[in-house]
C-alpha cells in the first residue's frame, strides 16, 4: 500500500528545481531520437555527451518515441536547456513509471523470503522503496536509478534459488549494459556464479560444462545485443572512451564520504599546520588563517608544500583534487586497494557460496569500490545500502553495522541538493525515514545467536546521536554564524562525519561477515 504515498510525494516533487542531470537526460533523449545509431557516441553539441552503455541508450530511444508525442521540441539536439512544463512532467513521470520495476523486484524479494522472516522482509523492502536516497537522486536531482536498482534487486533475488541462478547472472549482465557502475559488484557475481553454478557443489574440480555453456552463451548474447551494433561500426574504442573517462579526478567532489575524503581531510589539516609557520611570515590571507589558531596540532612537520594545490579542494567543486602535503594517489593505487578489499570477502564466498554470503560479498564489493575507488560519486552509496538492506535484518549484529551506514549514507547526499526550496524536503524526509526505519528495523531484527564482538552498538548509537547537531549546524547555524564565509566548513564536516560512518560500518560489517 505504501508505494502510493511515495508516488504522490514524488508527483508533487515534479515542481522541484532541476539539476544538470535533468538536462543530461533530455539531451540523451534528443540524441537517440534524432541521430542514427552510428553517431550516438560521437555527438557532442552539448557538453553532456552520452556516457552510459548501449542498453541505456536504447532505453532513452524508446522513451524518446513517447517524448516526441508529448513535446517535439524536447527531442532536438540543439535545443539545449529546454524545459517546457511538458518536458518536466514527461521526464519526471517516466522516472516514477520505470520505478515500478523496483516495486516488482521488491515484491519478488518479499515472496522469496521464508515465512518466519516475511514481515522483516516487508520492512526491508519498504525501506528500499521509500529510500530518501532514491527520492533525492531520482526524483529531485533527476536520474533513473530506481528501475536499475530494481533490476539489481531482481537479479539478487533470483540468485536465491538454485533453479534461477542462470537468470540471475543474465539479468545482471543486462544491468551492466544499462549502467557500468555495477561493474563494481561484478566480482561477487563472478565468484558466486562460478562456484555455485559452474562448479559442482561437492568438488571445485568438477566443472558443470553445460551450465558454463549456457551462462557463456547467454551473456555473450546480451553483450552482443548491446555492443554488437557498435562493434560492427568499429566504434568500440570511442564507446569505451566515453564510458571510462579516466581523465577525471580522484574525488568526484569533495564530499563523497570515502577513504579519500578522510585522506584529503588529513591533507587539509596538515596544510593548516604548515601554514601556521608561513602565515607568521607571509600574510597571504587564505581561508585557513582563522583556523590556524585553532589547529595547532603539529607545528611543523617538515613536509613539502605544493602551493598550487592549496586552494583547490576547499571549495568542493567538481574537478581535480591535488594534495598539498600527502603523496598523490594514482588510479593504480585505487584500483589495487579496491581489488584487495574485494578479494578478501570473495574468498569466503568461494568456500561457502550461500545466498547470504553472496549478498554480503556484493555489499562488501560495493563498500570496497565506494571507499577506495577512483572518482567515486556520493550517489554510489546506494550501491552499498540497497544490497545491504536485503540482509540487514538477519540479526542484530548485521543491523548494528547497517545503522551507521544508513545515517551516514543519506546525510552524505544532502549537499547534492542545495536550493532552499528543496531543503526542507530532503532533510525532513530523510529524518522521517531514518526515525521510522531505525525504530521498525530495531523491532524486527532477531537477536543474534553469536556474542557481540565489540561495542559496535554503543558506537553506532553515539554516532547517530551526533548526526542531529551536525545536520542542524551544516544546514542552519553555519549560515547564521558565518553567512557566506567559510563555505567549505559544513561540507568538510559532513564529508568527514559521513566518511567515518561509512568506514566504521564497513569495518563493523567485515567483522560480522567473517564471524557469522
Partner 1 sequence: MPASSPAHKPRRKANKGDIDKLRAPAFPLAAFLWPARTSLSQWEVLPLVLMVVGLFRWAAGLWGYSGFQRPPMFGDYEAQRHWMELTTHLPISQWYFHDLEWWGLDYPPLTAYHSWVLGKVGSLINPEWFALVSSRGSHDPTLKIFMRATVIVSEYLVFIPAVTVFVRRFSRLSDISIWTSNLALVAILMQPSLILIDHVHFQYNTVMLGFVVASMSSMLAERYMWAAVLFVAALGFKQMALYYAFSVFSYLLGRCITTGINPTRLVGIALVTIVSFGVLVLPLALGALYDKQRGIDPSPELKLQGAAPFIANYISPDHFYYPIFEQLGQMVHRVFPFARGLFEDKVANFWCTLNTVIKLRNYPVHLLQKAALVATFASILPPNIILFLRPRKSALPPAFAATAWGFFLFSWQVHEKSVLLPLMPMTLLLAGKHGMSGEVRAWVGFANLLGAWTMFPLLHRVDLRVPYAVFTLLWAYLLGLPPTSWSAPFQEGQSQVVQWGTALLQGTFYATMAAWHVVEAFVEPPPGKPDLWVVANVGVGAAGFFICYLWCIWRLLRETGFVPKGAKVKTKTQ
Chain residues that interact with partner 1, rule: CB under 8 A: 1-2, 4-5, 8-9, 11-13, 15-16, 420-421, 424-425, 428-429, 431-432, 435-436, 439-440
Q: 8 or 418, CB closer to partner 1? A: 8
User: Of 301, 186, 320, 192, which is closest to residue 250 (Cα–Cα)?
Assistant: 320
- The minimum distance between CB 61 and partner 1, in angstroms, equals 29
- The minimum distance between CB 1 and partner 1, in angstroms, equals 5
Q: 289 or 479, CB closer to partner 1? A: 479
Q: 363 or 440, CB closer to partner 1? A: 440
- The minimum distance between CB 225 and partner 1, in angstroms, equals 39
User: Of 260, 331, 270, 261, which is closest to residue 304 (Cα–Cα)?
Assistant: 270
- Cα–Cα distances in angstroms (integers) from residue 415 to residues 7, 91, 203, 212, 292, in the given order: 24, 23, 50, 45, 26
- How far is Cα 305 from Cα 19, in angstroms, rounded to an integer? 37
User: Of 381, 395, 396, 391, which is closest to residue 430 (Cα–Cα)?
Assistant: 381
- The minimum distance between CB 429 and partner 1, in angstroms, equals 6
Q: 11 or 287, CB closer to partner 1? A: 11
- The minimum distance between CB 486 and partner 1, in angstroms, equals 19
Spatial contact of 300 and 308, defined as CB atoms under 8 Å apart: no
- How far is Cα 513 from Cα 516, in angstroms, rounded to an integer? 6
Residue at grid coordinates 602565515? 279
Per DSSP, the three-state class of 499 is: helix
Q: 79 or 113, CB closer to partner 1? A: 113
Axis crossing angle, helix 259-281 with helix 355-372, rounded to the nearest 10: 20
State the virtual CA torsion across 26, 27, 30, 36 in degrees, nearest 10.
Answer: -140
- The minimum distance between CB 315 and partner 1, in angstroms, equals 23
- The minimum distance between CB 444 and partner 1, in angstroms, equals 10
Which grid cell is 82? 529546454
Backbone angles phi, psi at 376, to 5 degrees: -90, 135
- How far is Cα 516 from Cα 508, in angstroms, rounded to an integer? 12
Spatial contact of 368 and 352, defined as CB atoms under 8 Å apart: no
- The minimum distance between CB 440 and partner 1, in angstroms, equals 7
- How far is Cα 146 from Cα 97, in angstroms, rounded to an integer? 10
Q: 236 or 465, CB closer to partner 1? A: 465
- Cα–Cα distances in angstroms (integers) from residue 83 to residues 15, 25, 74, in the given order: 12, 12, 8
Q: 19 or 311, CB closer to partner 1? A: 19
Q: 15 or 352, CB closer to partner 1? A: 15
Q: 126 or 251, CB closer to partner 1? A: 126
- The minimum distance between CB 432 and partner 1, in angstroms, equals 4
Spatial contact of 408 and 388, defined as CB atoms under 8 Å apart: no
- The minimum distance between CB 8 and partner 1, in angstroms, equals 5
Q: 85 or 454, CB closer to partner 1? A: 85
Spatial contact of 202 and 79, defined as CB atoms under 8 Å apart: no
- How far is Cα 238 from Cα 41, in angstroms, rounded to an integer? 7
- How far is Cα 183 from Cα 475, in angstroms, rounded to an integer? 35
State the virtual CA torsion across 292, 294, 298, 303 in degrees, nearest 10.
Answer: -20
Amino acid at each position: 500500500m505504501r508505494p502510493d504515498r511515495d508516488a504522490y510525494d514524488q508527483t508533487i516533487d515534479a515542481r522541484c528545481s532541476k539539476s544538470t542531470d535533468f538536462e543530461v537526460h533530455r539531451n540523451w533523449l534528443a540524441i537517440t531520437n534524432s541521430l542514427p545509431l552510428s553517431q550516438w557516441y560521437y555527438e557532442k553539441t552539448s557538453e553532456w555527451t552520452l556516457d552510459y552503455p548501449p542498453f541505456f541508450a536504447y532505453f532513452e530511444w524508446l522513451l524518446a518515441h513517447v517524448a516526441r508525442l508529448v513535446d517535439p521540441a524536447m527531442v532536438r539536439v540543439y535545443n539545449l536547456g529546454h524545459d517546457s512544463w511538458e518536458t518536466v512532467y514527461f521526464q519526471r513521470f517516466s522516472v516514477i513509471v520505470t520505478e515500478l520495476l523496483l516495486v516488482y523486484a521488491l515484491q519478488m524479494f518479499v515472496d522469496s523470503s521464508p515465512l518466519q522472516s516475511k514481515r522483516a522482509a516487508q520492512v526491508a523492502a519498504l525501506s528500499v522503496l521509500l529510500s530518501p536516497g532514491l527520492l533525492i537522486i531520482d526524483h529531485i536531482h533527476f536520474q533513473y536509478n530506481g528501475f536499475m536498482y530494481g533490476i539489481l534487486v531482481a537479479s539478487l533475488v533470483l540468485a536465491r534459488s538454485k533453479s534461477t541462478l542462470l537468470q540471475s547472472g543474465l539479468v545482471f549482465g543486462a544491468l551492466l549494459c544499462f549502467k557500468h557502475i555495477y561493474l563494481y559488484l561484478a566480482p561477487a557475481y563472478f565468484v558466486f556464479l562460478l562456484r555455485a553454478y559452474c562448479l559442482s557443489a561437492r568438488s571445485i574440480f568438477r566443472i558443470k560444462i553445460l551450465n558454463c555453456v549456457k551462462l557463456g552463451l547467454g551473456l555473450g548474447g546480451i553483450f552482443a545485443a548491446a555492443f554488437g551494433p557498435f562493434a560492427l561500426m568499429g566504434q568500440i574504442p570511442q564507446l569505451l572512451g566515453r564510458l571510462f573517462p579516466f581523465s577525471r579526478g580522484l574525488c568526484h567532489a569533495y564530499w563523497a564520504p570515502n577513504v579519500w575524503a578522510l585522506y584529503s581531510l588529513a591533507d587539509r589539516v596538515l596544510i593548516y599546520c604548515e601554514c601556521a609557520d608561513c602565515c607568521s611570515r607571509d600574510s597571504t590571507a587564505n581561508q585557513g588563517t582563522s583556523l590556524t589558531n585553532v589547529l595547532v596540532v603539529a607545528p611543523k612537520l617538515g613536509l613539502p608544500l605544493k602551493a598550487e594545490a592549496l586552494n583547490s579542494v576547499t571549495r568542493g567543486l567538481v574537478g581535480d583534487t591535488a594534495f598539498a602535503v600527502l603523496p598523490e594517489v594514482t588510479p593504480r593505487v585505487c584500483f589495487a586497494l579496491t581489488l584487495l578489499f574485494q578479494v578478501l570477502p570473495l574468498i569466503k564466498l568461494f568456500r561457502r557460496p550461500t545466498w547470504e554470503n553472496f549478498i554480503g560479498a556484493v555489499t562488501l564489493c560495493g563498500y570496497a569500490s565506494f571507499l577506495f575507488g577512483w572518482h567515486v560519486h556520493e550517489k554510489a552509496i546506494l550501491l552499498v545500502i540497497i544490497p545491504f538492506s536485503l540482509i540487514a535484518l538477519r540479526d542484530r549484529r548485521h543491523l548494528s553495522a547497517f545503522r551507521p551506514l544508513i545515517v551516514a549514507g543519506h546525510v552524505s547526499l544532502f549537499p547534492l541538493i542545495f536550493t532552499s526550496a528543496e531543503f526542507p524536503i530532503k532533510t525532513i524526509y530523510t529524518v522521517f525515514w531514518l526515525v521510522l526505519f531505525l525504530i521498525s528495523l530495531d523491532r524486527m531484527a532477531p537477536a543474534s545467536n553469536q556474542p557481540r564482538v565489540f561495542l559496535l552498538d554503543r558506537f553506532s548509537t553515539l554516532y547517530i546521536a551526533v548526526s542531529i547537531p551536525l545536520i542542524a549546524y551544516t544546514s542552519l547555524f553555519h549560515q547564521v554564524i558565518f553567512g557566506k564565509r567559510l563555505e567549505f566548513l559544513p561540507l568538510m564536516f559532513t564529508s568527514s562525519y559521513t566518511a567515518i560512518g561509512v568506514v566504521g560500518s564497513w569495518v563493523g560489517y567485515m567483522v560480522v561477515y567473517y564471524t557469522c
